[in-house]
Structure 1
Amino acid sequence: MARIERAPPIAGTDFMVSRLAASRLALEVCPQRAAPLLALEFEGSSCAMVASVLSGTAVPSRGVWAQPYQYERLFELMSVDPLGRRARAAMIEQATLLRAHIASISGNARTLHVVDTGVFGSIGHYLALGLSDKEVRPVMLFRANYKRRAGLVLPPATGLVCDQDDYTPWKPRSVSRLYWPLIEAFFEPSLPSVRLYRRADDGEVLSDLQKPDWQASLSSDSDSIRAGAFDYLRTLNPGSEAAILERSTRAWRALRRRIVYPTSEDVLLLGVSPRSLDFGVDDLVIFGEPVSNASPLRRIAEVRDSIWPEGEIRRLFPKTAGIWLHLIEVSRTIASAYRAVR
């Protein structure tokens, strides 16, 4: 905004939060309304694992705690079991610290615009449930209800760059739906997700993300895609504003082409490093795992499970990739046209 000499329409500040941290607020205030989202996050997990993540303390996975996670089962354990009561107390303490952090940055404001890269809006939903005295308005760069098949309906949110549930070939910004980890890696610096808060000696609430010199991680390596974006921003001036929309549309069309019909060079350029699944677990999603001697069926499985199937097709089937990529895009075009007509 400074480059084009425009003032932001509202006051803003850094907000140290994550899906995990925000979920604790919702679980403290109205756990039953938060339960459907948690069921998606923790499918196949044990009660011990879920309690450990929510509380930030170690709960041994033995006895009744080794049972599969169910909302009713977990909260009964956290109410009647001594270990569970300690875990619940730790979870409430973390929720209290987050509430203090929010109060310190929002003051007496009644309306909070929570800006997130997207996509689903879990953070905004949890905060809306947990902050009954505030009006929370989620603002996401890319909004998409990709979990709608699970029957979840979230409060209204704004999608600034793209507000579409599905990829539509003639709407280039919706290509973000095909390869979300690339968008996420572009906007999110190499910093851990917030898991815990603590109160500093001066009373300020700090997250475990805020390690010494953490701001240095916000800058980009000189040869990264994000560094190129920063270079572009430095070229802007007040006269650039009128052309920003046209330039961005051209850029999205070019990115769509690289994601949908990637060349070998595009795979090298856009292949992202391992990304965390977040929500208190250490699991990673990885693009481009070695499969040099894999059978065709194994390679097809790799494509199906990949975070970027088109790039995986180019990488694993270089000779026939063009044909497969074209057929896939034709299929998606037909499906998009059918949705539009319906």
Structure 2
Amino acid sequence: MLRQDLDLLCSPLNGIGLISTDVFDTLLLRQPKSQRSRIMEAERRFARLLEQQGLPADAEELFRVRLLAEKFAYRALNVGGCVGEVRLLDIVARQLAILGLPPELLHRRIGLETDIEKTSLSANSRLAIALRQQRQAGIRIIAVSDTCLQASQLCELIDHFHGPGLIDKIYSSADLGATKRSGQLFSAILRAENISPSEMLHIGDDEIADQAVPRKMGIHTVHIPTGRIRRYVTRADGARSAALRTFRRRLALSRSASCTVNDRNSFGREVFGPIAAQFCLFIWLYATQAQAQGDYALAFCARGGIGIRQAFEALLARLQLPLDMLRENILVSRLVAARTALETGNRAVLDELGREFAKSSFAQVAHAVGGGTYELPPRWDATFAPAHFFDMLKSPCGLPVLDDVVRQNQLFKRHLDTAFGPARPIILCDTGLYGSTQRLLAAGLPERHFETIQFARCNYKRLSEDHFPDVTGLVVDAKLYNPLRIETVVLRYWHVIESLFEPAIPSVRHLTECEDGTVSGNAGAIAHHVIDATAGNELLSGVLDYIARLESGGQVMRQADIAWLRLKRAITNPSALDMVALGVGPRSIDFGRSESIHVLAQTDRAGLAARLKTTKSQLWREGAIARDFPHMKFALLPALELAHIARGVSARLYR
């Protein structure tokens, strides 16, 4: 503590009727031990407790699931506006649910967390002396903390180090669902204490939460920053612990037996099964936090979301994971979303149209977005220029197109209202990557709140990332493939992930009104209990077979590690069996068009150089090399992998 700060607190404070103190790194000082190290120690104790009760337990598995529960809870909170707080009670409850452990252990586990805190904190005696002096002078003393711990747990810690009687009341963000950083916790305190900001003094270490925010509200502050050396030592401890865990995990994986597959169904079961189940667990973790924050709904987007929903519902049932949230499959596509942005005149849609129709004419774009047949003058045959499209639509010849767009939007809005009501916030669930649907719907329907969770997030389009704060890649979030981050291998062959979850139905292009007033689409009936996404999809059938045999979420996490290694090898160095298992037929271009593109196009070019050049245009380059250069692939594929490693290193050095 700075001497001048201590002198201030030891002197009479005229006009101050309330002193609030931050808890951690202020009233209670942390030893230079990282949060992850503390959590790991708590999980080791918990594992010993479980073993005493005859329950199989692995501290690393407990630790990993606990971190995932915390990670997705905070992500859901941040996307939702970051005005509330994540509670340790909820984090541990989700950890136990995923691992299939008795919920009665909840408070025993939380008690271990408090015990660990008692070994990693120390009393700030000098501050306590100053606070007791002010308390004797008639000033009320309270403790305020942005933390996942409840006030009762904070009270136990404060009394353990300072004894009873130092603090008159404790305010925890976990209890009130409001934080210092947002300012809402200070507002709640001012109301509860019936005091004006000018009569309150706050003490803390954080420049934003403990100084800038309360000072802006008119509250007096004393800033006591954490020492720089202490921060560095704490970070070093966290890095050391993370490195050791990564080493142990990779060593264990190297000793694990590889899964064996014989056909597409077994590949789906043994490889995509754990990966898809892991994705579904992440969806549940995100959704349960959103549910705790408000009346959200989960919308599974046609097409990819339909297969995701089928796997997700199967996983919830198998592991008995609770989720009291409205869930529906919805008739949406990038085209449907683009129409909403066209009607509002939001320029975000021009980025998408410009990329999709770079070599098309204005007329072709009009037919795609309007969905009808139009008689357009010759000037509409000019090459599409996004900057002029709004003006073209507002011209007399373009009004019929715009009218059709508006009618389609009215049907889509009715579809959403029927499924979710007019006001409920919606979490879109899809495969990924860029999040175009999120970007366009947010632009076209600003009266609604949308956020998106998807398998992966990547700005492969190199367009604006303004919508990225509302898009979460639950499994992968990266700019490019990094061989050292195994999960990013899906960015080398994204079409197989889309194909895994998509049922054999067309993309949504056109909505119609049924006789009973409901809305249907050209994709047909997509309700969860009506459509079977596994029909003709052996990979997804294998995923469902895997989920049907599950025993716990811990099994998913263990087997997913092995499955990711197997998938990486299959994508980057495919065998003949891998080529069959991961083979994806023609992929529709969509966006109102009927054309398709081959993932692995046939090449009739003669000569080695010509065929190598053709490989660059293939959507799955490694697959094309394995197919077209069976004798040279043992040299070409490692060279390609080295090139990706070099690119990743270069990107990190120059970003």
TM-score with structure 2 length normalisation? 0.49
Are 1:4 and 2:319 matched, yes or no? yes
Distance 1:72 1:334, change over 3 A: closer
SS at structure 1 position matched to 2:325: coil
Distance in 2 between residues matched to 1:27 and 1:292, nearest whole Å: 42
Aligned to 1:234: 548
Distance 1:130 1:151, change over 3 A: closer
Distance in 1 between residues matched to 2:603 and 2:587, nearest whole Å: 19
Residues 302, 312 of structure 1: 8 Å contact kept: no
- In the TM superposition, what are the counterparts of 1:300-315 in structure 2 within 5 Å? 300-315=612-627
Aligned to 1:112: 426
Distance 1:192 1:204, change over 3 A: same
SS at structure 2 position matched to 1:132: coil
Aligned to 1:205: 519
Distance 1:212 1:42, change over 3 A: closer
Residues 25, 130 of structure 1: 8 Å contact kept: yes
SS at structure 1 position matched to 2:594: coil
| Mean Cα deviation higher: 227-236 or 16-25 | 227-236
Aligned to 1:130: 444
Q: How many residues align?
A: 337
Distance in 2 between residues matched to 1:33 and 1:267, nearest whole Å: 38
- In the TM superposition, what are the counterparts of 1:18-167 in structure 2 within 5 Å? 18-60=333-375, 63-81=378-396, 83-148=397-462, 150=463, 153-156=466-469, 157-167=471-481
SS at structure 2 position matched to 1:31: coil
Decide which of 219, 241, 250 is 2:562's aligned counterpart: 250
Distance in 1 between residues matched to 2:466 and 2:576, nearest whole Å: 40
Are 1:225 and 2:578 matched, yes or no? no
Shift of the alpha carbon at 1:175? 0.6
Aligned residue identity for 2:412:
L
Consecutive unaligned residues of structure 2, counting only runs of 5 or more, are 1-315
Distance in 2 between residues matched to 1:293 and 1:242, nearest whole Å: 50
SS at structure 1 position matched to 2:414: helix
Shift of the alpha carbon at 1:16? 1.0
Aligned to 1:263: 575
Residues 504, 535 of structure 2: 8 Å contact kept: no
Shift of the alpha carbon at 1:35? 1.6
Shift of the alpha carbon at 1:255? 0.2
Distance in 2 between residues matched to 1:319 and 1:61, nearest whole Å: 54
**Structure (1 or 2) with the larger CA radius of gyration:** 2
Distance in 2 between residues matched to 1:51 and 1:247, nearest whole Å: 48
Aligned to 1:327: 639
Shift of the alpha carbon at 1:85? 1.1
| Mean Cα deviation higher: 176-185 or 4-13 | 4-13
Distance in 2 between residues matched to 1:335 and 1:32, nearest whole Å: 33
Decide which of 285, 290, 297 is 2:597's aligned counterpart: 285
Per-residue CA deviations over 1:254-278 (Å, capped at 9, x if unaligned) read 1011101112222122121111111
Per-residue CA deviations over 1:22-73 (Å, capped at 9, x if unaligned) read 1101111133232222211211110000000010012356511101112343
Distance in 2 between residues matched to 1:198 and 1:246, nearest whole Å: 46
SS at structure 1 position matched to 2:427: strand
Shift of the alpha carbon at 1:295? 3.0
Aligned to 2:331: 16
Distance in 2 between residues matched to 1:30 and 1:59, nearest whole Å: 21
Residues 49, 61 of structure 1: 8 Å contact kept: no
SS at structure 2 position matched to 1:119: coil
Decide which of 481, 484, 492 is 1:170's aligned counterpart: 484
Distance in 2 between residues matched to 1:140 and 1:212, nearest whole Å: 19
Decide which of 470, 492, 507 is 1:193's aligned counterpart: 507
Distance in 2 between residues matched to 1:216 and 1:95, nearest whole Å: 25
Shift of the alpha carbon at 1:7? 1.6
Residues 425, 449 of structure 2: 8 Å contact kept: yes
Residues 438, 467 of structure 2: 8 Å contact kept: no
TM-score with structure 1 length normalisation? 0.92
Distance in 2 between residues matched to 1:201 and 1:305, nearest whole Å: 47
Distance 1:151 1:15, change over 3 A: closer
Give the superposed CA RMSD: 2.1
SS at structure 2 position matched to 1:134: coil
SS at structure 1 position matched to 2:452: strand
Percent identical across equivalent pairs? 29
Shift of the alpha carbon at 1:288? 3.6
Are 1:274 and 2:586 matched, yes or no? yes
